Homo-oligomer: A and B are copies of this chain.
Amino acid sequence: MQDELGLKLTVRIYKGEKAFGPGMLTLLTLIEKTGSLHKACESMDMAYSKAWKMIKETERLWGFALTVGDAGGKNGGGSRLTPEGRLLTEQYGQFMEEVKEKAELTFNKYFSEEFLSKLDKAGKAQKGSGN
């Protein structure tokens, strides 16, 4: 059996350069959930160094910190979101969700069974034609 048709959307916010995308959403969400950049990286299977660079770069672009971290202490330390980090994460998340929902509906409209069978027919019609 053939694979079903599916849609994948990537929603990125730019500020000249790329300023926020799905990777940051996952990362910051996991930092908030786990309280640690280290654990967040493990969860999403991303190298710590990469995550750290991503965050630094994003912070540079926005001009404010998204996370704050402490090394040492009870559990070795940890990271948490700044208010701006939390706000941005939340807003982007909701935005992306809404866009995806709408896109999914639009997708079903354009790539319906009807269209697919039309595609199929076009294929059959093509037998020995010299367009």
* A binding-site residues for B, Cβ under 8 Å: 2-16, 18-19, 59, 64-65, 80, 82-84, 87-88, 91-92, 94-95, 98-99, 102-103, 106-107, 110-111, 115, 118-119, 122-123, 125-126, 129, 131
Contacts and interface: CB of A to CB of B under 8 A. Distances in A.
Contact of A123 (B2, B84, B123, B129): B84
Contact of A83 (B9, B11, B16, B122): B122
B12 A5 contact: no
23 contacts: A6-B14, A7-B13, A8-B11, A8-B12, A8-B13, A9-B9, A9-B12, A9-B99, A10-B10, A10-B12, A13-B111, A59-B131, A64-B126, A64-B129, A82-B126, A83-B122, A83-B126, A84-B126, A91-B110, A95-B106, A98-B106, A99-B103, A102-B103
A101 to B, nearest CB: 10
